[in-house]
Amino acid sequence: MPVTFQYTGWAPWNKQLSSDSLTLDVVSLFEKWYGGKFLKMQHPDGYTFFVNVDGNRRIVVQPYNDHVVKATFTDMLVPSLHQ
């Protein structure tokens, strides 16, 4: 299940509300809601993303563009369509 987040006050000149800051805020919120820690990972394309696995639930949080953050929830017991 994909979910997106963005700050309501985002503007190109307001770097404090960029997806970099938002990613950290979403990770912090999810750690409170779901418990556990998120692992910080580096994608080969150069961007940073965060992963948490708890039982069969995997959550991946990553920047989507300069103002949107995407979180993807996956039930790892459900067969993937890409197998």
Tell me how many degrees the CA angle 18-24-27 measures, rounded to the nearest 5.
Answer: 135
Q: Among 74, 72, 10, 20, which Cα is nearest to 48's?
A: 20
Tell me the pTM.
0.87
47-56 residue pLDDT tens: 899 999 999 9
Q: CA dist 78 to 34, 38, 56, 58, Å?
A: 20, 22, 9, 12
Answer for the pair 54, 62: CB distance below 8 angstroms, yes or no: no
**Residues pairing with 56 in the sheet:** none
The residue with greater pLDDT, 79 or 71, is: 71
Q: What is the pLDDT of residue 78?
A: 87
